[in-house]
């Protein structure tokens, strides 16, 4: 029974995260990126507020972590999600998902710098393999699409490293708060700020917003942002960090398959091979470092 629950949670997470990138693409059909990102967070906020109240969690971070809560609002919500939607104006949904799959590699590299995290040669080799393969995939997709998509790719890469940096910084600060405390206020504040900014700067015409874009925003806010996070958090409590991280290897494959089926996109055989190599590199970077056992000094060792 427990294995069935774990399998179900894992399947739900990869299907949810895998479909998120197509939903973003559909949202952009009739909405500009900043306005769409704001509406996404506004649609998620009521559900988060209800769960915050139900679990009796605090709205604010503890004293001493309030500035960090502002950083979460800015670098976990406002900037990275806007960059992703901006990027998807120039790159395919599958390309954006593939870039995001290297988050474990980014976390590893930033952890080495900020936390002096022990690492292995295998992890470093996997990280380099993943990054090199990602670069080759971007080159291949740019060649096939015959478009100048470097802007979109760069925007998504920046979003990846923002998320990874904030994850490592949270670990460094040992900021222990509930899932709802971490997400609710930053999500609500980002929703209000980005919706207002988008309305002023981008001037969207509300009458032109299609039902497809509107439904995509609701899906992104409630299913992808809230339900997806809850399922992933529940999965983390049941299996190891290594096993949970395998989600990052599976969801881009789902995105590629969905995009090929729904949007009649073509993912070349070369890109499939490069994707397999890249995900293999990500897998190697996730393999935990074995802790060396301390050998007690015997009488012979002293002599």
- pTM of structure: 0.88
**Residue 24: exposure state from Cβ atoms within 10 A (0-12, 13-18, ≥19):** buried
Alpha-carbon gap, residue 132 to 46, rounded angstroms: 41
Do the domain assignments include residue 301?
no
Determine the distance from the C-alpha atom of residue 248 to the mean position of all C-alpha atoms in its chain, rounded to a whole number. Answer: 9
Q: What is the DSSP string of 150-161?
A: HHHHHHHHHHHH
Both tokens assigned to 273:
């091979």
Angle at 192 between CA 188 and CA 195, to 5 degrees: 130
Do the domain assignments include residue 186?
yes
Do the domain assignments include residue 127?
yes
**Residue 273: exposure state from Cβ atoms within 10 A (0-12, 13-18, ≥19):** middle
Do the domain assignments include residue 212?
yes
Query: What is the predicted pLDDT for the residue at 225?
Result: 86
Q: Give the total number of structural domains in the chain.
A: 1
Determine the distance from the C-alpha atom of residue 24 to the mean position of all C-alpha atoms in its chain, rounded to a whole number. Answer: 13
> What are the Cα distances from residue 250, in Å, to 52, 80, 179?
30, 22, 24
What domain range is 235 assigned to?
Answer: 2-288
Q: What is the mean pLDDT of residues 269-286?
A: 93
pLDDT digits (tens, 9 = 90+) for 148-157: 577 888 999 9
Bigger pLDDT: 185 vs 64: 185
Q: What is the CA radius of gyration of the chain?
A: 21
**Rounded mean pLDDT of the chain?**
88
Q: CB under 8 Å to 194, separation ≥6 — which residues? A: 34, 35, 37, 38, 41, 78, 82
User: How many other β-carbons are positioned within 10 Å of the β-carbon of residue 211?
Assistant: 8
pLDDT digits (tens, 9 = 90+) for 71-129: 999 999 999 999 999 999 888 899 999 999 999 999 999 999 998 888 899 999 999 99
Do the domain assignments include residue 121?
yes
Query: What is the predicted pLDDT for the residue at 54?
Result: 93
> What are the Cα distances from residue 170, in Å, to 46, 135, 160, 246?
25, 28, 16, 21
Alpha-carbon gap, residue 96 to 78, rounded angstroms: 18
Do the domain assignments include residue 155?
yes
- What confidence tier does 144 reach under pLDDT thresholds 50, 70, 90? low
Do the domain assignments include residue 32?
yes
Do the domain assignments include residue 8?
yes
């Amino acid at each position: 029974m427990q294995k069935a629950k774990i399998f179900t949670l894992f399947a739900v997470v990869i299907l949810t995260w895998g479909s998120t990138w197509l939903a973003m693409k559909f949202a952009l059909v009739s909405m500009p990126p900043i306005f769409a990102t704001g509406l996404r967070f506004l649609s998620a906020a009521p559900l988060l507020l209800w769960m915050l109240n139900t679990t009796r969690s605090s709205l604010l971070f503890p004293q001493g972590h309030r500035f960090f809560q502002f950083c979460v609002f800015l670098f976990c919500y406002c900037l990275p999600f806007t960059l992703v939607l901006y990027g998807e104006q120039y790159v395919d949904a599958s390309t954006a998902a593939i870039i995001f799959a290297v988050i474990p590699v980014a976390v590893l590299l930033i952890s080495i710098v900020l936390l002096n995290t022990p690492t292995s040669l295998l992890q470093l080799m996997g990280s380099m393999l993943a990054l090199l393969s990602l670069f080759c995939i971007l080159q291949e997709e740019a060649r096939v699409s015959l478009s100048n998509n470097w802007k979109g790719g760069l925007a998504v890469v920046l979003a990846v490293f923002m998320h990874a940096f904030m994850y490592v910084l949270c670990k460094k600060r040992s900021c222990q708060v509930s899932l709802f405390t971490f997400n609710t206020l930053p999500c609500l504040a980002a929703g209000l700020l980005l919706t207002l900014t988008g309305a002023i700067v981008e001037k969207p015409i509300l009458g032109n917003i299609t039902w497809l874009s509107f439904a995509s925003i609701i899906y992104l806010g409630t299913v992808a942002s809230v339900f997806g996070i809850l399922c992933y958090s529940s999965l983390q409590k049941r299996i190891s960090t290594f096993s949970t991280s395998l989600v990052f290897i599976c969801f881009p494959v789902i995105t590629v398959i969905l995009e090929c089926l729904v949007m009649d996109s073509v993912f070349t055989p070369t890109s499939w091979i490069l994707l397999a190599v890249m995900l293999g590199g990500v897998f190697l970077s996730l393999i935990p470092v074995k802790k060396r056992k301390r050998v007690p000094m015997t009488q012979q060792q002293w002599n």
